[in-house]
Amino acid sequence: MLKTLAQALHSGAVRVVDLSQTLHSRTPIIPLPPQYGQSAPFRLDEISNFDERGPAWYWNNLSCGEHTGTHFDAPIHWITGKDFPNNTTETIDVQKLVAPACVIDVSAETRDNPDYLLTIERVEQWEAEHGRIAAGSWVLMRTGWSLRTDPSEFLNLHDDGGHTPGGHPDLPGFLARERDVLGWGTEGVGTDAGQAFAFPQPFPCHATMHGNNRYGLASLVNLDKLPPTGAILITPPLKIRRGSGSPCRVLALVET
Q: Please list the active-site residues.
A: 77
111 class by beta-carbon count within 10 Å (0-12 exposed, 13-18 middle, 19+ buried): exposed
Paired with 98 in beta bridges are 234
Residue 12 one-letter amino acid: G
